[in-house]
Amino acid sequence: MIAAVGSLITSNPAVGKDSQLRVLKPSTPWNLNYGTNSCRLARVFGSGDEQVAFYIEKYGISSDFTLLIAGKSISSVLDPSAKLRFSNGGGATNLTGGDFGTFGPSLFSTSATLNPATFAKQEDRAKLRRLMRSTYSKDAESLPDDEDLAPAALHQITWVELLRGKRTVRLMTGPWDATMAAMDKCVDDLVRTWGVDPAELKSIKSGPTPSDNFRISVVRRIIDHYPHAAVSNHTEANLSARLTIDTKGHVEACELTDITDAKDFDDYPCEVFKKYGQFSPAVDANGNAVKSIYRTKILYRFG
């Protein structure tokens, strides 16, 4: 289901004397897409050949989200070395280049946040990973959530921009309070369809945490199984697995989400997760175990 959120912004922001700053106003309302596995808010900025696509997407209850910005007219700033910032100090790390259909070149991040405190932690974590030059470590896992910003703070956020060198492209999004309220309602409805209480998810203090032998008992079994059809077609894929963890730490349910075209890949990872996956369950502030969601990525690659 798709719903329009809010109205168009018609004010014309002052650009100033810096000719390197481009400011784009929205040309469509926010459109909220109620998906099976996610909630997506999308909007187009500019007009004609200058159109820029922008969306944020949530796969569950979290203070961070996936973000994409794309457009042929802003290709000069669409580089992984660029910096992405919201007007309040939030932002996105781990930017990845790509292509977004008719809009052309894009930048994508799975760790965007409106919370300046969370973003500062993400930047510190990213710097540490670069220094360690590590392809995998526990530091690469998700950070604990900070508290969500209050509506008054969200109302103060009015733009997002990309900076690369002396060039800056700013999208005038308008206040985010009503926008994120619609997103949060969508996410609450979404997790209920998974059989999980959103109030319980929001009460989680820690966890769920994979067992110490998770990489041997689960990850190794998945990595060693490359589907025959995918081998024959020399197909690679990026998958996301959403696991429902019960109060005993068992994998109650598993759902694979295609991030790339994965028609040659089967449900074997979910079979492994449900048979061998063991977790320390999530707990609330009172130390009570609660049902929770755990997400992980699976990358199928030829050596």
Mean of pLDDT values over 80-85: 94
How long, in residues, is the chain?
303
Based on the domain organization, do 207 and 174 belong to the same domain?
no
Q: What is the pLDDT of residue 13?
A: 42
pLDDT in tens, 104-150: 999 999 889 998 888 888 777 666 554 444 433 333 344 445 567 88
Question: Which sign, positive or negative, has the C-alpha torsion 153, 187, 297, 104?
Answer: negative
Based on the domain organization, do 60 and 140 belong to the same domain?
yes
DSSP label at residue 16: -
Mean of pLDDT values over 53-82: 92
What 3-state class would DSSP assign to 209? Answer: strand
Based on the domain organization, do 128 and 238 belong to the same domain?
no
Domain limit, last residue, from 160, 193, 226: 193
61-75, 135-149, 212-226: least confidently modelled range = 135-149
Share of the chain above pLDDT 70, in %: 84
Based on the domain organization, do 236 and 214 belong to the same domain?
yes
Which CATH number do you get for residue 288? 3.30.2420.10
Q: What is the pLDDT of residue 132?
A: 46
96-100, 147-151, 190-194, 260-264: least confidently modelled range = 260-264
Q: What is the pLDDT of residue 139?
A: 36
Please state, rounded to an integer, the average pLDDT across all residues of the chain.
Answer: 84
Based on the domain organization, do 208 and 223 belong to the same domain?
yes
Q: What is the pLDDT of residue 153?
A: 92
Domain limit, last residue, from 140, 171, 193: 193
What Cα–Cα distance (Å) separates residue 147 from each residue in 38, 64, 134, 159, 201?
A: 21, 11, 29, 21, 13
Based on the domain organization, do 77 and 57 belong to the same domain?
yes
Based on the domain organization, do 214 and 78 belong to the same domain?
no
Q: Which structural domain, as residue segments, surrounds residue 214?
A: 198-300
What is the number of helices (H) and of strands (E) in the chain? 8, 20
Q: What is the pLDDT of residue 300?
A: 80
What Cα–Cα distance (Å) separates residue 24 from each residue in 46, 233, 262?
A: 5, 43, 36
pLDDT in tens, 3-17: 555 434 333 344 445
DSSP label at residue 192: H
Cα 283 from Cα 175, distance rounded (Å)? 34
126-130, 172-176, 179-183, 278-282: least confidently modelled range = 126-130
Q: What is the pLDDT of residue 10?
A: 35
Non-local CB neighbours of 93 within 8 Å, separated by 6+ positions: 109, 111, 119, 122, 123, 125, 126
| Number of separate domains in the chain | 2
**Phi, psi dihedrals of residue 135, rounded to the nearest 5°:** -85, -20
pLDDT at 296 over 70: yes
Q: Quick one: pLDDT band at residue 302, thresholds 50, 70, 90?
A: confident
Based on the domain organization, do 151 and 283 belong to the same domain?
no
Based on the domain organization, do 167 and 203 belong to the same domain?
no
Based on the domain organization, do 150 and 173 belong to the same domain?
yes
Based on the domain organization, do 150 and 206 belong to the same domain?
no
Q: What is the pLDDT of residue 279?
A: 95
Mean of pLDDT values over 214-241: 84
Domain limit, last residue, from 193, 224, 249: 193
Based on the domain organization, do 147 and 98 belong to the same domain?
yes
